[in-house]
Amino acid sequence: MSEQTINLPKHVGYIVDGNRRWAKKHGLPAYEGHLAGYNAIQDVARATFDSGVEYMSAYIFSTENWKRSENEVKALMGLVLKLFTSDLHIFNEENIRLRVLGSKDMVNERIKKAIVEAEEATKNNTRGTLALCFNYGGQLEIADAVKKFVQAGGDASSITVEDIASNLYAPDIPPVDLIIRTSGEQRLSNFMLYRAAYSELMFVPKPWPDITKEDVKKALHEYSNRGRRFGK
């Protein structure tokens, strides 16, 4: 079946998992796994947008990941900064818009500044939108949305699902149609909880660094064969 005839999701979310296990399997330090995972984000984004998907989200650092070792967190922050600075030209060359979803708490000022500049520098790109979930937690996103609504003068006793949706991080990003988790784990791990209400779920045994363009095509093909009724 050709890519032109399948029923494509508008938004595909990836739970990036398995970088450290990939490194261990190959006898490498954890950082090498994260670096391989970092490179995979670019490759998977190309494959996803080449297929015609409009939005891709990737869970790159959760609010719980601060619990990891100081050295590992430092290495991850270095990769995040690299993405938003020295490698930013890649996303402009690929015509991909970057958005960042997550809390600013605990994020250092240099990275905060780089995020603002990266979003500004790519805002006119039209091939697709890559939403990076950084310092992100789905429960926290919902709590922050309620706070934002109340702080703007809203009545908490009459809050609606639409009110919450309009106050999420980057509320213009649509619900996730398909969530793909790598490395064989079968849970959401606090990813896109509000936007995932009707998401189709797929669990891939491969670790994230091993995901290929063919894996993306296969997942999209499987999605096109599923029936989505939204409770009807």
| Catalytic positions, written as ranges | 17, 65
The residues, ordered by sequence, that sit 6+ positions from 84 with a Cβ below 8 Å of its Cβ are: 98, 111, 114, 115, 117, 118
Which segments of 51-205 does DSSP mark as H helices, in order? 70-84, 88-93, 109-121, 138-151, 161-165
CA gap 138, 143 in Å, rounded: 9
How does DSSP classify residue 2? -
DSSP one-letter code for 54: S
Query: How far is Cα 211 from Cα 19, in angstroms, rounded to an integer?
Result: 11
Closest CA to 115 of 77, 144, 150: 77
Are 215 and 206 in contact by the 8 Å Cβ rule? The answer is yes
